Structure 1
Amino acid sequence: MRTRRRRSLRLLVSLSLSLSAVLLSVLAAPQAGAADAPTVWILDATDRPFTSTTPPGWAPTRIELYAARNAYEGAQILVRSGSAQTGVSVTSGALTGPGGATIPAANITTRYEYSHPNIQKIGNVQTPPDGGSAYYDALMDNSPRSVAANTTYASYYQVYVPAGQAPGVYSGSATVNSSLGTVTVPVSVTVYGATIPPTSQSTFKMNNWFSSAGWDYAGTEASIPNVYGVKMYDANWWKVEANIAANMARHRNNVIYADAVALLIPDTTVDAAGRFTFGWSTFDRFVNLFVSAGAMQYLYTPTLLEPPAADPQLDTLVPVNGVSGAVKHVLCRPDSAAANGCPDTNNWLNQLFPALKAHLDAKGWTDNFYMSALDEPTTSQQATAANWLYTQYEKYFPNPRTNEAQLTNFTGNAAHLSTQTPLTSNYDANVALYQNYRISGKDLWLYSCILPQGSYMNRFTSNHLSATRLLPWLTWKIGGDGYLHWGWNYWHDDFSEPYPAADTFNTWQTGDHWLVYPNKAAYGIYDSLRSEAQTAGLQDFELLHQLAAVKPQAARTLAETLITNPTAYDTSGWNVEGRHKQLLDELASATGDLALPFTDDFSGGDHFWTHTRGTWSTSGARYTQSDASAKWGDVSYLRGRGYADVSVGVDLQITRVSSSGGSTNWAGLMVRSANGTDLDSGYLIAQRNNGQVFVYRSGTTIGSGSVPGYVPGQRTRLRVVARGNALTVYSGTGQAPVLTVTDAAFTAGDVGLVTGGASANFWNARVMPTSLAPAESAAVTASSSYGADGWGVRSAVDGQRPSAPNAAGWSSSGSVETNHTEWVQLDLGSTRPLSRVDLYPRSDGANAGQGFPVDFTVQTSTDGTNWTRVSTRTGYARPGATAQTFPFATVTARYVKVTGTNLSTDQFGNYRMQFAEIEAAGGDLAPGRTASTSSSVEYPTEGWLTANLTNGTHHTALWNSSGWSSAGAGSPNTTQWARVDLGGPSRISQVTLYPRDDIPNTGLGFPSAFTVQLSADGTDWTTVVSKSSYPRPGAGGLSFAFTATTARYVKVTGTTLTADQFGVYYMQLAGIGVS
């Protein structure tokens, strides 16, 4: 669980921060109905209420939902009074939206939440305010209830948005009915254009094992008959299964647990010679329930090999009377001849499997059918039996889908499994093993049951609801695509005959045995807070999948703000709902992917970094990991940011090494990590103390090289450019790459610093998306090049702007005694918008500015042959050490060429053209630039910083990057401003302001009157935008266009501020864009 140290609650709440330790974010005073009406307030759907929950001083009283199409979105209405109430219920009506479109009342449900009195607390427990054992979970009907005094009633309000719903904002209300009076709750639902696919066309594979026929032929098979009072295959049994199918479709459970062997029993016969005639009528009827309901995308048969682990037994069918005719189920020894009433098990499988294949082929289900041999295998005997079974199966099913729930890192039959499904904690302990399975082409799922516990995500009733919702997010983060849990409806207290029905509402329970509850009277199902949270997470997975296809860095960044690893995640439901909304906002936005430049000299501490191992500290401008013991993978990673194509560099020095490994021990970088705190779910690029540089991926070294002249313990710069499938590594004094590796295992993820068996110092970390600095990964050619004394053609695009002894920049050579023409050309790899080229002069002391051309042109090209001149300069004076910026109207180009036709001399009197660095930029010019403000509440841990105006995140995510907030004021007529220095003159025609967009505080702090001004010098300003009475905005950037102007500085000044819920006035922005 993610926990953070807390500052004063008053200040944090005044900034409308939804702390994970606070149940509700504050918003507005509870709404009163009649004078004695109950108190009513709103809780999001991913936080858990209790009967002892009381309203905070300021609480939301409006429901505001943000929905994709073909999705369910919910919130909770809480009702409390100091007096007893009767007739408490919630009623709802239709919602009206754009152009008269409606979401009909039939698509809206309100269900009261049942408080289960006897919940056993295990795992990452959320303790009720009164310390008791009662937890809300089951979602019942909407019948009026009696509520005791000082007890909180909870109603689950939910809206289904159809796939064809018109996007826009839909409004209406819900009404709380009570003997103490009625209260109206305003409702708004913002519908986005994104659409969740039907359950039967999902990207995610959700496998909740549920009861029908077979499985263990004991308690699982008895669950429905014993609870509902039905008999297997009677009319009401089929009614229950049909209702289960509808519930599965509704909750995106698209992997249907159907025991093919058990479902054959009613319609199959065998003759005296042991020849089977398989009847498929019952099997087909069962499967078609789920096909018709829209639930069935995959079929998954329960395991065919049963305990004990030391002597596994095979599910077989034999004659009921021992001779021929009808059949029954028996367990028999695998790979054995007929004996003791058992058939020859090879003969049995050689009849079953081809018949199964032929039938699945006929129905079109073969490619979506999963075979499973074992459940939680641990022994060599199980491996032998499973390998035998799968070998038999593969004779008839080439390249089959196979899967098993795995409690340990059992590998005895791994060669036959198309999917690996480890317990979450087992994955966490064996990341390299399971990532290598994924890389080799196997699917990766996660599994949970009564384990894992502790801080691990699970779906126990006593846990934070966010843990249930975030399991699909975690699966997405690690590259997985499925989740398995065994207990959807095992409605028994234990595993002992005669398997009496449990009192699912009042018995002591953990939530492991069942996720849903029986509605006995209707032969149906009651949902739960946990099943709805799981469904919301499955919907989020589909949105993450869609977003990653177009904006991989945005998807990764939003996931990173919620989850560090399987035991460190956000427990605030408000924060989870906020990321859900931001997924939708990013999908709706026409802007490009997020790009998050980052530099850190560590002089301000390490508040941007997160580490769970090692001894990390800062001193001055140095970051140190001081533990030199034999530990590998002490990672400190950059929190809440995701990167795909990126250049990452840092100065490092190995200071000590463990005797275990000695000089082969290392320090380095992590890029594209799925979980920031491990070294096996991404790429490790490291420098050994013996001079070797290597690239490691999930337990395997995939490339290595040597740094010329490396001396143990020296300070050196290590840099990697990850672009597409190529990782190019630079280290030491050489201009050429030390090595280049091509690998496609990881495409986006975290960036971190890491040591292995060594202590090390780090300086000057720099992380630059290649989309913002395309020149940094460019191929460079030149008319000539001098290649000594730190000069080299690659040094012009190494990301180091100042000249350094080992990275001076690029210098021409050629005829140096007379003036002449030289050129340098960059291939950016692909076409992109460009509006500016920055040329950095050499900056080495008294030589600063020497070698900068006097007359020169800047040209661009799409093909490297046909050139367009975008800037011409003559008589250019020798500059100082700062960047020289050359703006122009935006062009689309792949190549940039600088040609000097009149050169200056270097310190030796030779005519050369020299640059310390060359950069090209276009699109949004603000990311990474310096911001300043009139005032600022600087809270780096919580994420409020002036620097966040230009860090590229554009979203408000508490504990990561919340944005910028001015100091508070008592009057709206208070002026506050934020300014961006673009680093040089730039052609500007649009400024984009990003309001804060956390739930439920979207748009708070946005000024109602403001101006946008431009300046060339930071002193004289021209107003290009002026707004008054501006309404509180929703999410997404607000763009203000104007006539193109050349300027260096952009200033946004709020002249009328807006109040927060306490009457304090702020100016707050999540970010600023300039283009």
Structure 2
Amino acid sequence: MLNRAARMETRCISSLIKVFADEELHAPAQLRGSALLGEFYSFQVAYRANVLMRSLQVRAEQSELGPNITVRTVELVPANMVSYHDADEHVLRSTPGLYPDVLIPFDTNRGLTGYPNQWRSIWITVEVPLNAKAGLFDICIQIENDIGELVSEETFTLEVIAATLPEQSLIHTEWFHVDCLATYYKTDIFSEYHWQLIEQYIHTAVKHGMNMILTPLFTPPLDTEIGGDRPTVQLVQVERTGEKYNFTFERLKRWIELCDRSGMKYFEFSHLFTQWGAKHAPKVMAMVDGQLKQLFGWDTDSKDPEYTGFLTLFLQELLAFVKENDLEQRVYFHLSDEPNLADMDTYRAASELIRPILEGFPIIDALSEYEFYESGLIKHPIPASNGIRPFLDHGVEGLWTYYCCAQYKLVSNRFLHMPSSRNRVLGMQIYKLKLKGFLHWGYNFWYAQFSKYPIDPFQVTDAGGGFPAGDAFLVYPGAEGPIESIRLEVLTEALQDLRALELLEQKVGREAVIALLEDGLEQELSLEVYPQEAEWYIHKREEINRLVSENSCSE
């Protein structure tokens, strides 16, 4: 709508539209939507002022859902390394610049700024209560100028459906880097302030569909330059007296209790060997003769008898702790991240050492060479989304998948320059392939590639030119805790799609759900082939909700 006196143009649009300040907005208006009980529903109000307008106030009013509505502004972040030189064409743009991503809670003191002739957007999220009444709810979004005059008003109608979104069955982890918290917030590791931050960020993770947490038994040997170092974040305290070791698990127990308070379900213990082939030991610190010393690290060969003996003893003690705390069904282990065929010998040695000790416990690793599974070195591989086909063709049960910087052609991903539809499709792909888990390495990686130096995530979104912008983190560090991104919210929507599909399957059967998903598509839905239009996902989810509603009423 156009308010000529106030020079403010606004339009309700879906959450899947990225609004750029330097281009015309071609997205169609979306004035209504539906959600299940327990769901987060987001939409945007795009706005453009014809003159500079400062200190605008925004209100989102709805008498019954009001307390469950949040208003955030979509702010721009710079992207330098936008994509690799040979990226596909399924992107919004391939140029460096300012991209919409960070979602800042609306501050009445600061207000909203309307920049002349720039489209910007406001992000509205409704957290539908589990006990909400079914029906139609009109949400009125008003924008007032600095003297209280109404300059724009939009109304979005949300239909609440009387069916509860089921609990997430997918195991989902986004690797949590506790050292990045300590570095950015300038606090000592495992200080009380650090523990407070850890809890805040875990709470946000759980809220957005992450139910597994990377747990640093020792400092995780991940994205660290060979021979380099990351801050020590070791939950297990070690003391060496002569040739004997003593392990203390109080700090690990505090971690688990904190995670329990936030609703975290699963723990993936950090890798027992270094990334890219299990060639070395992770950094292990211990008290020796009253002094803290490094026992193992890059200079320790993974087959070193001293380390393998240490590891054998440690794992026996750890399993006793796991059993004492009833964690047997909640823990997963890692050997090494992303080994390739050239690393088969070192990975084999690690596997043959560890598997007998951890018999009955799942060992999961991100690796995409089918030979590792075929050779019996791992029972629970996590192949990349662009390398999963051999595992699917061989009927491997209980598959997970992951994507990161290398999955930038055809498959879904969530880089800043990609359309949000390419992020949203993940839930439907997981449902179609019956995948059991999803892993990503970057919940809050705020270092440059290989952890060489810290970065400011609000200024550097590409790990210092290491990865396409948007790969390394989903949350930004706010003064009061985590600040979400568009990519995190859309990923959450993808996981909600998955849960809605599982609910519909309970009512009409899997065959009917697949038919609904693929209705009108020229090719079957897959990891490489999927609709690119944002509107398709909005309409498809509405179809799913409508069928859920109809079949709930008939029960």
With the length of structure 1 as denominator, give the TM-score of the two structures: 0.46
Match of 2:511 in 1: 553
Out of 295, 298, 315, the residue aligned to residue 353 of structure 1 is 315
Out of 160, 171, 182, the residue aligned to residue 138 of structure 2 is 171
Match of 1:255 in 2: 212
Match of 1:923 in 2: none
Q: Deviations over 1:123-145 (max 9, x none)?
A: 45666689773210110121313
Letter of the 1:288 counterpart: E
CA apart distance, 1:264: 8.9
Out of 63, 70, 80, the residue aligned to residue 38 of structure 2 is 70
Give runs of aligned pairs for residues 507-526 of structure 1, distance below 5 A. Answer: 510-519=469-478, 521-522=479-480, 524-526=481-483
Task: Tell me the distance in 1 between the aligned counterparts of 2:268 and 2:530.
Answer: 31
Match of 1:1059 in 2: none
Q: Deviations over 1:448-496 (max 9, x none)?
A: 1111112221111100101111112112212212211111211123325
More helix by share: 2
Task: Tell me the distance in 2 between the aligned counterparts of 1:146 and 1:255.
Answer: 39
The answer (yes or no) to whether the contact 2:461–2:470 under 8 Å persists in 1 is no
The answer (yes or no) to whether the contact 2:412–2:426 under 8 Å persists in 1 is yes
Match of 2:128 in 1: 161
Give runs of aligned pairs for residues 1006-1017 of structure 1, distance below 5 A. Answer: none
The answer (yes or no) to whether the contact 2:217–2:235 under 8 Å persists in 1 is no
Task: Tell me the distance in 2 between the aligned counterparts of 1:379 and 1:125.
Answer: 31
Task: Tell me the distance in 2 between the aligned counterparts of 1:282 and 1:317.
Answer: 15
Match of 1:419 in 2: 380
Q: Deviations over 1:713-732 (max 9, x none)?
A: xxxxxxxxxxxxxxxxxxxx
Give runs of aligned pairs for residues 908-1057 of structure 1, distance below 5 A. Answer: none
Match of 1:454 in 2: 409
Q: Flag the 1:364–1:53 CA change in 2: closer, same or farther, 3 A.
A: farther
Match of 2:182 in 1: 225
Match of 1:366 in 2: 328
Letter of the 1:516 counterpart: V
CA apart distance, 1:87: 1.9
Task: Tell me the distance in 2 between the aligned counterparts of 1:426 and 1:111.
Answer: 38
Matching of residue 479 in structure 1 with residue 434 in structure 2: yes
Counterpart secondary structure, 2:450: coil
Counterpart secondary structure, 2:516: helix
Task: Tell me the distance in 1 between the aligned counterparts of 2:309 and 2:132.
Answer: 55
CA apart distance, 1:578: 1.4
Match of 1:690 in 2: none
Q: Flag the 1:432–1:449 CA change in 2: closer, same or farther, 3 A.
A: closer
Out of 26, 35, 39, the residue aligned to residue 9 of structure 2 is 39
Q: 5+ residue gaps in structure 2?
A: 220-231, 463-467
Match of 2:296 in 1: 330
Counterpart secondary structure, 2:319: helix
Task: Tell me the distance in 2 between the aligned counterparts of 1:231 and 1:300.
Answer: 24
Match of 2:103 in 1: 139
Counterpart secondary structure, 2:159: strand
Q: Flag the 1:61–1:454 CA change in 2: closer, same or farther, 3 A.
A: closer
Give runs of aligned pairs for residues 14-25 of structure 1, distance below 5 A. Answer: none
Task: Tell me the distance in 1 between the aligned counterparts of 2:542 and 2:375.
Answer: 39
Out of 51, 54, 70, the residue aligned to residue 83 of structure 1 is 51
Task: Tell me the distance in 1 between the aligned counterparts of 2:217 and 2:155.
Answer: 50
Q: Deviations over 1:28-64 (max 9, x none)?
A: xx2x4573341110110122221134355x95373x2
Match of 1:240 in 2: 197
Letter of the 1:253 counterpart: M
Match of 1:812 in 2: none
Q: Flag the 1:43–1:548 CA change in 2: closer, same or farther, 3 A.
A: same
Match of 2:420 in 1: 465
Out of 494, 497, 501, the residue aligned to residue 544 of structure 1 is 501
Using the aligned pairs only, state the percent identity. 17
In terms of Rg, which structure is larger?
Answer: 1
Q: Deviations over 1:272-328 (max 9, x none)?
A: 24332221121122222221111x11111222111564x70123646444x577564
Out of 235, 247, 259, the residue aligned to residue 290 of structure 1 is 259
Q: Flag the 1:138–1:486 CA change in 2: closer, same or farther, 3 A.
A: same
Matching of residue 398 in structure 1 with residue 359 in structure 2: yes
Task: Tell me the distance in 1 between the aligned counterparts of 2:74 and 2:248.
Answer: 44
Match of 1:978 in 2: none
Q: Deviations over 1:681-723 (max 9, x none)?
A: xxxxxxxxxxxxxxxxxxxxxxxxxxxxxxxxxxxxxxxxxxx
Aligned length: 523
Counterpart secondary structure, 2:105: coil
CA apart distance, 1:147: 2.7
Task: Tell me the distance in 2 between the aligned counterparts of 1:121 and 1:316.
Answer: 33
Task: Tell me the distance in 2 between the aligned counterparts of 1:458 and 1:420.
Answer: 20
Letter of the 2:174 counterpart: N
Task: Tell me the distance in 2 between the aligned counterparts of 1:352 and 1:108.
Answer: 48
The answer (yes or no) to whether the contact 1:487–1:513 under 8 Å persists in 2 is yes
Two-structure CA RMSD over aligned residues (Å): 2.9
CA apart distance, 1:511: 0.9
Q: Flag the 1:405–1:91 CA change in 2: closer, same or farther, 3 A.
A: same
Task: Tell me the distance in 2 between the aligned counterparts of 1:35 and 1:318.
Answer: 67
Match of 1:383 in 2: 344
Give runs of aligned pairs for residues 641-656 of structure 1, distance below 5 A. Answer: none
Q: Flag the 1:297–1:71 CA change in 2: closer, same or farther, 3 A.
A: same
Q: Flag the 1:85–1:558 CA change in 2: closer, same or farther, 3 A.
A: farther
The answer (yes or no) to whether the contact 2:82–2:96 under 8 Å persists in 1 is no
The answer (yes or no) to whether the contact 1:272–1:324 under 8 Å persists in 2 is no
The answer (yes or no) to whether the contact 1:67–1:161 under 8 Å persists in 2 is yes
Out of 179, 185, 190, the residue aligned to residue 159 of structure 2 is 190
Higher relative contact order (CA 8 A, sep 6+): 2
Give runs of aligned pairs for residues 581-592 of structure 1, distance below 5 A. Answer: 581-590=542-551
The answer (yes or no) to whether the contact 2:23–2:119 under 8 Å persists in 1 is yes
Task: Tell me the distance in 1 between the aligned counterparts of 2:80 and 2:549.
Answer: 42
Match of 1:206 in 2: 172
Match of 2:61 in 1: 93
Counterpart secondary structure, 2:72: strand
Letter of the 1:164 counterpart: N
Matching of residue 305 in structure 1 with residue 263 in structure 2: no
The answer (yes or no) to whether the contact 2:58–2:112 under 8 Å persists in 1 is no
The answer (yes or no) to whether the contact 1:403–1:421 under 8 Å persists in 2 is yes
Letter of the 2:470 counterpart: G
Shifted more, 166-175 versus 327-336: the winner is 327-336
The answer (yes or no) to whether the contact 1:111–1:156 under 8 Å persists in 2 is yes
The answer (yes or no) to whether the contact 1:465–1:533 under 8 Å persists in 2 is yes
The answer (yes or no) to whether the contact 1:401–1:417 under 8 Å persists in 2 is no
Q: Flag the 1:395–1:66 CA change in 2: closer, same or farther, 3 A.
A: same
Q: Write out the 4+ residue segments of structure 1 that deviate beyond 6 Å after TM superposition.
A: 129-132
More strand by share: 1
Task: Tell me the distance in 2 between the aligned counterparts of 1:414 and 1:91.
Answer: 60
Q: Flag the 1:588–1:486 CA change in 2: closer, same or farther, 3 A.
A: same
Match of 1:276 in 2: 245
Letter of the 1:577 counterpart: I
Q: Flag the 1:182–1:364 CA change in 2: closer, same or farther, 3 A.
A: farther
Letter of the 2:61 counterpart: G
Q: 5+ residue gaps in structure 1?
A: 1-29, 96-101, 213-220, 338-343, 592-1035, 1038-1075
Task: Tell me the distance in 2 between the aligned counterparts of 1:320 and 1:585.
Answer: 61
Out of 484, 497, 500, the residue aligned to residue 454 of structure 2 is 500
Task: Tell me the distance in 1 between the aligned counterparts of 2:172 and 2:96.
Answer: 33
Q: Flag the 1:187–1:266 CA change in 2: closer, same or farther, 3 A.
A: closer
Q: Flag the 1:33–1:364 CA change in 2: closer, same or farther, 3 A.
A: farther
